[in-house]
Amino acid sequence: VSDSLNLFAVLADIVGPAHVHRDAGDMAPFLTDWRGRYRGQALCVVRPGSTEEVAAIVAACNAADVAMVPQGGNTGLVGGATPCSPSRHARGEIVVCLTRMNRIRAIDLDNNTITVEAGCILQSVQEAAAAAGRLFPLSLAAEGSATIGGNLSTNAGGVQVLRYGNMRELTLGLEVVMADGRVWDGLRGLRKDNTGYDLKHLLIGAEGTLGLITAAVLKLFPLPRDKATAWVAVSSPAAAVELLGRLRDTCGERVSAFEIIGQSALGLVLRHIPQTRAPLAAVHPWQVLLELTDMDAAGNLNGRLEQLLVREMGGGCLLDGVVAKSESQAQAVWNLRENISEAQRIEGISIKHDISLPISRIAEFIARADLLLEKQMPGLRIVCFGHIGDGNLHYNLSKALPQDNDEFIAGQPAVNRMVHDLVHALGGSISAEHGLGQLKRDEIRRYKSQVELDLMRSIKSALDPRGLMNPGKML
């Protein structure tokens, strides 16, 4: 107890007493995840305001032998930002929440870069870039709460990976407080730098297990001047993949988003999210939300997309479709896509699979997985949607109606095994963009080779030999 009191006093000294939470009520929002699937325990929550303060916190935790759980917007979907319960570290854990570190440090228009602190909300970075006449393209439904530190640590993807890549590809430099409290200033805005191991790539996607990211240099792009958005019904997932191929043949890199949405996913949004309506009159099993963007404002992208879709209508893949005539119509269809997770949360408990596959195997995966699951859990509702252009599906399950929550969750290990084994057999990954966290920490051992697991453990023990960074996550 006296050790803990000593640590609290040291932390309060570093960040100010107002930024150390010890009261159960104050700590509660930091100790559970967005889905409400994990509830953790922590000695306290500390909210630093600068890199120096983060470094001092890490030094204090080293001295007290207490572990740290980095947290940003707490929108992660695998329990990575929630402390484990019981604690995975003998002397306990504290949550280090970075949201007070929310400054835009610099924008360099000639270099097309923005330097931001880790606690910046993604949407505020997009807005700062737009105000400077540039695009920061990472975009995901949680962008109003998710932070850059969380985006980096999960190597976030979202809806524009097809054109711009995921967070790894959007990052040029990092500033990190390492597990021993030293600050690594790697805030370089270089597109070429072959001077040894690329350390930033170890930290990106590390889910807070190697260090605390405090700032980053991110790439900026020209702002698109023209945009065309369409919502189309397709005859099958295979038809969606075919359509994507032809769209890329004719429009190349202008294809910036290509999202598949199964009817059950759309149905949940229409049921639970106010002021939503189906864009097409008939009910179709599969729809695609697609977007083209261009730098040339005179390119008449809407007209070109309309022509292209009309040509497709005769081919059997495309069943129906609408091209948005205004920004508000485009927003309305994006609203449908972006509210799927929220609608599924309102619907009740779910089992989620964030998986990726070679695009060529997606249709086969869906057909085989649907069959297996219908046999295993009759009545189960498959809520399938995702970034099909990146080979990334959210193959989620809602319980049968009616079914007991406990009975549904009891079936989770068997269902996961079935889905993940099939993903693995088809050359895919059991985590496309959400990470491993607590959710897939044990499961991943089945799918990675011993060599790969050994390499990961060597990296962990080299950079965090005392196991103080986010214990019980990923490894």
Ligand X SMILES: Cc1cc2nc3c(=O)[nH]c(=O)nc-3n(C[C@H](O)[C@H](O)[C@H](O)COP(=O)(O)OP(=O)(O)OC[C@H]3O[C@@H](n4cnc5c(N)ncnc54)[C@H](O)[C@@H]3O)c2cc1C
Chain residues in the site for ligand X (CB under 6 A): 34, 69-77, 80-81, 98, 118, 140-142, 146-147, 149-151, 153-154, 156-158, 207-208, 212-213, 341-342, 433-434, 437, 470, 473
Q: How far apart are CA 440 and CA 431, in angstroms?
A: 8
CB of 354 to ligand X, least distance (A): 8
Q: Do residues 20 and 11 lie in contact, with contact meaning Cβ atoms separated by under 8 Å?
A: yes
CB of 286 to ligand X, least distance (A): 19
Q: Which is nearer to ligand X, 153 or 229 (CB)?
A: 153
CB of 7 to ligand X, least distance (A): 20
Closest-by-Cβ residue to ligand X is 150
CB of 151 to ligand X, least distance (A): 4
CB of 77 to ligand X, least distance (A): 5
Q: Which is nearer to ligand X, 102 or 403 (CB)?
A: 102
Q: How far apart are CA 164 and CA 425, in angstroms?
A: 29
CB of 403 to ligand X, least distance (A): 24
Q: Which is nearer to ligand X, 416 or 470 (CB)?
A: 470
Q: Which is nearer to ligand X, 273 or 359 (CB)?
A: 273
Q: How far apart are CA 359 and CA 390, in angstroms?
A: 7
Q: Which is nearer to ligand X, 80 or 173 (CB)?
A: 80
Q: Which is nearer to ligand X, 306 or 342 (CB)?
A: 342
Q: Which is nearer to ligand X, 207 or 291 (CB)?
A: 207
CB of 320 to ligand X, least distance (A): 26
Angstrom distances, CA of residue 242 to CA of 112, 249, 392 = 35, 11, 16
Q: Which is nearer to ligand X, 211 or 321 (CB)?
A: 211
CB of 323 to ligand X, least distance (A): 24
CB of 109 to ligand X, least distance (A): 26
User: Phi and psi at residue 106, in whole multiples of 5°?
Assistant: -165, 150
Q: Which is nearer to ligand X, 147 or 287 (CB)?
A: 147
Q: Which is nearer to ligand X, 76 or 389 (CB)?
A: 76
CB of 469 to ligand X, least distance (A): 8
